[in-house]
Structure 1
Amino acid sequence: MTTELPDTAVDKARDEIVRVGTSLFNRGYVHASAGNISARVGDGHLITPTDAALGFLDRHRLALVDANGERIAGDRASKTLTLHRRVYEADPTARFIIHTHSTHLVALWIAPIMISWGLVSAAFMFVTDEATFYVLRFLLGAAEAGFYPGVILYCTEKAVVERAGADDTAHQTVRSRVRDAFREPRVWLMCLIYFCFVMGQYALTFWMPSFVESTGIEGNFAIGVLSAVPFLAALVVMNPFGRSADRRRERRWRLVIPSLMGAVGFSPAAVRNGSTALSLTALSVAAAGVLTCAPLFWSLPTTFLGGTAAAAGLAIINSVGNLAGFVSPYMIGAIKDATGSASIPMYVLAFTLVAGAAAVLTTNKHVVNR
């Protein structure tokens, strides 16, 4: 049965939402379609539509829903409706809700980093000596290191509303000061997990041509073409795993399985079996597993990091984890040179991925599976 909502209250709420949205947009507090506004009207709610820009709202297109969240009038309600309804249920005195996303993160952090990243990259054309190269490479790494966690944080702000209907685990969320992120054991557990996964990623990036050549392939062109095959396999596998993790709200095993796939694929018995076809299949399994871990991993720390601590926590995880970018290629080369065996480094990589999978299973499933 449809709830009857008072027309006068709805009209006033429409005008107020449009007025406030325009004001926020004009003052630079919101950008693009980020953020939503809602109002309690009778037993129902009025909320901005999906993907609506707050600065250009049409009062007649605002979504009017009843007490059960069913649409009565207007466009399709924003997916943040669930979040807003939970707030109204928790606080009967709440009449309006405004939620926005960080404009400073984009305008004052991500955009300048991207610009500086491009300028530093272009400056490499002027390199004439070793010292200049190292300075520019350091600056390039600094820009990249700041960009990646910033984007993850921004995506987290956008995606958190997807978990609004999950159980309340606010008491388990690190939200306050930057230094709290350094004191949080789960942040360092995430560093360990990410380090293990990045070990496999950089092994593929730097050593894939050598792996392919070791299967018996000759000629730079053939090696280059076949080196792309495992990465194409990863492209096929990534999306189904990600969609399944979101749909089933099961993130741990959706991360453990590809990690173990990578370990199996890196097995010397699989890669160095005398058959080029089987070896490429094994490398494809390894690439599909290892590269699928990267996007799925970031769904773990973002479930317990929030507020100011989120920026610091994500930066710590990214920085520590990417130390594997140095360790992995160097370790493989050093072990290979010291032992004369290409199998031992692959055993080490397989063990590292298994260790990462085991560490994932130590996380609290009630927190990360949201």
Structure 2
Amino acid sequence: MTANAIPLEQLDTDALEDSIYRKVSWRIVPLFICCFLFAYLDRVNISFAKLQMASDLGFSETVYGLGASLFFVGYFLFEVPSNVLLHKIGARIWIARIMVSWGIASACMMFVQTEFWFYTLRFLIGVMEAGFVPGVLYFFTQWYPSTRRARVNSYFKSSICLCGIVGGPIAGLILGHFDGVMGLAGWRWLFLLEGIPSILLGGVVFWLVKDRIEDAPWLSAEEKQVVLSRMAKEAKPATPQKVKDIWKHPTTYVMSAIYLCLVMALTGLLFWMPQLIKSAGVTDTMNIGWLTVIPYIGAVIGNLLIGASSDRHRERRWHMAACATLTAAGYLVCALFPGQLLPLMIGMTMIMTGIIAWMPIFWTIPPRFLTGIAAAAGIALINSLGQLGGIIAPFMVGRIKDLTGTATPALFALFAVSVLAIALIVWGIPKRYYAKEALQD
């Protein structure tokens, strides 16, 4: 045997672990992908509803931008309490509750008549959905070792791409073909038909999800032991942590600032993509829906390739920085070629690919300095503070568009936000949280 050869027993152990984790992933990841798909449909279907809703109800661009933003106010206020409760109650019950309540709130958007109820329901959807994404990410930390997390996070976050791929055509179909059915506008049907599946999926989560590895009936005793042994090897802080400990880490604030930039870059495009395409001369709602698919197809391919590369090379910093650079370049392309469909589609594809690939790598860092309930609360805090970007960006784009008649200045601003994120990624996070040694067994 050569000095660099891997012992046969190690190969056997790795192969067994890979086999078990494939089984684990097929059991839980597709379900959460499906859940996240409808979470995002319910979150962003407002961008397609606006194509009819704004004119029907007489809403200005500023009113729409503020309503889109208020989702994130509710999300911000209730994110940390929701994840602390998830840690205490368990993922199965709490995530099921989240899904049922946000589905009901989203479906109720069909009854909106005034600005007040538009603002109120957008806020309530944020309150009800708070804790879902960080809750699932925390759930993954209880099942997957750090060396597998970027990949599984990338699968989960690919739901955003899937939402864009199926959401645009579905929204265009509903808006175009359900308009006037039973006397209801197409945008009202959109909220109803996309809210019901979330309620049903809540019941599926309650039935299928198990909080602990030990409780999974679909794993044998030997398979459970392999997974538990692997999780026991994970590096953890030397002393137990409490919720208050999340405030002691400067990295928490740096991570929050990076995520704020990321969410601004995402929502600045997410809530305005159909309008940007319309500004390039496309007026048919079905065609707009199909064109929104293109950036997401590019994003899902880039996300899976970049996530796998990050895990394979056990490298986080430069993968994240490259994603942020791609996002910044995409915004620059969109800003420099306003109203031109081809450059716009290329730029939006660059933006979405950078953002979607950036997120799963980003979420591998918090468990390096937080554990236990502090990890649950810390992931929620970072996500919550970052969601402030969702308050700022949609309102900013709407306000600038009302004042100037164009979204171009806002696109330049989002380019600058992405450049700031690059600097924070490279210089703001301590090197020890990026170190390859921290990712090894």
Computing the radius of gyration from Cα coordinates, the structure with the larger value is 1
Deviation at 1:195, TM superposition (A): 0.5
Distance change in 2, residues 1:353/1:251 (3 Å): same
Q: d(CA) in 2 for partners of 1:128 and 1:217?
A: 28
Contact persistence 1:174–1:306 (CA under 8 A): no
In the alignment, which residue of structure 2 is the partner of 1:110? 95
| SS across alignment from 1:299 | coil
What does residue 244 of structure 1 align with?
309
Q: Distance in 1 between matches of 2:126 and 2:141?
A: 23
More helix by share: 2
Please state if 1:363 is matched with 2:429. Answer: yes
Pick one of 280, 288, 292 that aligns with 1:215. Answer: 280
Report if aligned partners of 2:334, 2:411 keep a CA contact under 8 Å in 1.
Answer: no
What residue in structure 2 maps to residue 158 of structure 1? 143
The equivalent of 1:319 in structure 2 is 384
Corresponding residue SS for 2:130? helix
Which residue does the alignment assign to 2:289? 224
- Once residues 273 and 123 of structure 1 are traced to their aligned partners in structure 2, the CA distance between those partners, rounded to angstroms, is 36
Instruction: In structure 2, give the amino acid aligned to 1:109.
Output: W
| Shift in alpha-carbon separation, 1:220–1:174, aligned structure 2, 3 A | farther
Secondary structure, aligned partner of 1:250: coil
Q: Aligned in 2, Cα 1:157/1:79: closer, same or farther, shift over 3 Å?
A: farther
Identity %: 35
Instruction: Quote the offset at 1:340 in angstroms.
Output: 4.4
How many residue pairs get aligned? The number is: 283
Residue 76 in 1 paired to residue 44 in 2? no
Provide the C-alpha distance between the structure 2 equivalents of 1:79 and 1:233, rounded to a whole number of angstroms: 29
Structure 2 partner of 1:276:
341
Distance 1:107 1:117 in 2: 16
Offset of residue 334 of structure 1: 1.8
- TM (normalized to structure 2)? 0.56
Partner SS for 2:370 = coil
Unaligned runs of 5+ in 1: 2-65, 82-101
Structure 2 alignment gaps of length 5 or more: 2-6, 22-86, 149-229
1:122 Cα deviation after fit: 4.5
1:257 aligns with 2:322: yes
SS in structure 2 of the partner of residue 159 of structure 1: coil
Q: CA deviation at 1:354?
A: 1.1
2:250 aligned with 1:185, yes or no? yes
AA matched with 2:263 = V
* Deviation, structure 1 residue 182: 2.2
The correspondence for 1:146, drawn from 127, 131, 141, is 131
Cα displacement (A) at 1:333:
2.0
Q: Deviations over 1:95-138 (max 9, x none)?
A: xxxxxxx8942234223323333344455566677666655444
The Cα shift of 1:67 comes to 11
Cα distance in 1 between the residues matched to 2:293 and 2:136: 27
CA contact (8 A) 1:263 1:286 kept: yes
More strand by share: 1
Q: Deviations over 1:54-107 (max 9, x none)?
A: xxxxxxxxxxxx9964659xx9358899xxxxxxxxxxxxxxxxxxxx894223
Shift of 1:224: 3.0
Deviations 1:196-225 (A, max 9, x none): 000111111111123223334444433332
CA contact (8 A) 1:202 1:329 kept: yes
What SS class does the counterpart of residue 364 from structure 2 fall into?
A: coil
Q: Which residue of 1 aligns with 2:76?
A: none
Structure 2 vs 1, CA of residues 339 and 135 (structure 1 numbering), >3 Å: closer, same or farther?
closer
Letter of the structure 2 residue corresponding to residue 261 of structure 1: L
Residue 272 of structure 2: SS of its match in structure 1? helix
Which of 393, 398, 409 does residue 344 from structure 1 map onto? 409
CA separation of 1:117/1:216 partners in 2, compared to 1, >3 Å: closer, same or farther?
A: closer
Matched, 1:234 2:174: no
Mapped partners of 1:170, 1:209: distance in 2:
44
Bigger drift between 141-150 and 122-131 goes to 122-131
CA distance in 2, matches of 1:138, 1:152: 23
CA contact (8 A) 1:214 1:272 kept: no
Supply the RMSD in Å over aligned alpha carbons.
3.5
Hey, what does 2:27 align to over in structure 1?
none
More RCO (CA 8 Å, sep 6+): 2
The Cα offsets for residues 263-290 of structure 1, whole Å up to 9 and x where unpaired, read as 1111157651675323321221122112
**Aligned counterpart, 1:297:** 362
Distance 1:142 1:260, change over 3 A: same
Say which SS state the counterpart of residue 267 (structure 1) adopts: helix
Is contact 2:310-2:316 (8 Å) kept? Answer: yes
Q: CA deviation at 1:345?
A: 1.0
Q: SS where residue 241 of structure 2 aligns? A: coil
Contact kept, 8 Å, 1:120 with 1:136, in 2: the verdict is yes
